[in-house]
Amino acid sequence: GHDVTILPGASVVIDETTALVNSLILGDGSGTATLAMTNWSACLKAKYLNILKGGVLTNGGAFTNEAFQTRVFVECTDLTVTEGGKIDLSQRGWSGSIYAISKNNGYGPGRGRSNVGASHGGYGAMDTLDSARPERYGDAAQPETAGSGGGKGGNYGNNGNGGGVVR
């Protein structure tokens, strides 16, 4: 297999399963290098995956329907993430409410509603006892599904997206 290096300033997208590479180095400590996976079934295959300072492995971002779900799916023998490198799927699951479109509701199977937090492996928070909580889904210890988006908590604006999936 080949040796691949993604240098700072580069943003590479993977939308299908890769051929096996010997090594993939993401970043070199001098700036941001991003590798984004944009298809649920895409898999990055590498013997050695090194995410150095400034390297970011992520997915395609928050989504509003199942057809556009993404995750980070890696098969490797050795994974190293150094200080300053990261696998970041924060707020990269189901989208939170988008005021102009969904008004109060977030997206996903445990989506939050007006003043009710989204559920996933556990229940979301509520501000009153007369609100029904969204059903929880997935496994909190070994999540295989994306986190649902939060509902509207104020008068205007968008709300928090759920977390993404790493496999």
| Stated pTM of the model | 0.88
CA distances from 61 to 37, 57, 90, 133, 140 (A): 9, 12, 9, 26, 21
156 by Cβ neighbours in 10 Å (0-12 / 13-18 / 19+) ranks as exposed
**Cβ contacts of 101 within 8 Å, gap of 6 or more:** none
| 37 in Cβ contact with 92 (< 8 Å) | no
Q: pLDDT-based confidence at 67, cuts 50/70/90? A: confident
pLDDT: which is higher, 47 or 1:
47
pLDDT single digits (tens) 27-43? 999 999 999 999 999 99
Q: Average of pLDDT values for 76-99?
A: 92
Residue 101 sits at φ, ψ, to 5 deg, of -110, -55
**Cβ contacts of 136 within 8 Å, gap of 6 or more:** 110, 119, 120, 121, 122, 123
Type and span of the H or E element at 101: helix 99-102
| 72 in Cβ contact with 90 (< 8 Å) | no
Output the pLDDT for position 19.
Answer: 96
Coil, strand, or helix at residue 36?
strand
